[in-house]
Amino acid sequence: MLAYVDGSGTINDSPVYVMAGYLASVEAWEAFTVDWKAALDHPKAIKYFKMAEAWSRRGQFAGWDGSLRDARLKMLSPIINRHAFSALIFAASTDGWKQHVVGRLDERYHDRPYFFAFHSIMAAGSNTWTKEVSKKK
């Protein structure tokens, strides 16, 4: 089991903090990598994919019009769906986090949602994978 997870937003600059990703077997990730690379290398090739760059049409997507960008997104999305076993997500309202969590716990690192997001995602992934493995026995 391997998970790819990334965070979006910060406690000071975003209305919502999100950590999300996908869970899959090593074999599924290997197959994903081949398909993903082929999609990145498609004409008007990009070296990597970041949704923030695609959305804003900056970085790898600078100079792209919306329809070209959307076509690439439609090419990439099914690759994830085909290979990922499960999606994982943690989301927290920044205002709610500040109101109910910041300054209320002993350790300062608890003030940032990353700590709880990471542990929530890992627990959910482990639980999901354990249930899947037990079905196969």
pLDDT for the residue 135: 76
Number of structural domains found in the chain: 2
pLDDT for the residue 12: 74
The amino acid at 69 = R
CB of 49 closer than 8 Å to CB of 60: yes
Please state, in angstroms and rounded to a whole number, the distance separating the CA atoms of residues 38 and 109. 40
pLDDT for the residue 31: 97
pLDDT for the residue 11: 67
pLDDT for the residue 102: 87
The last residue of a domain, from among 84, 106, 125 = 84
Can you list the residues of the chain whose pLDDT is less than 70? Answer: 10-11, 137
Please state, in angstroms and rounded to a whole number, the distance separating the CA atoms of residues 37 and 31. 10
CB environment 24-34: b (16+ within 10 A), e (fewer): beeebbeebee
Please state, in angstroms and rounded to a whole number, the distance separating the CA atoms of residues 111 and 125. 23
pLDDT for the residue 125: 85
Same domain? 33 vs 3:
no
122: domain range?
1-25+87-137
CB of 110 closer than 8 Å to CB of 92: no
Q: Is the pTM above the cut of 0.85?
A: no
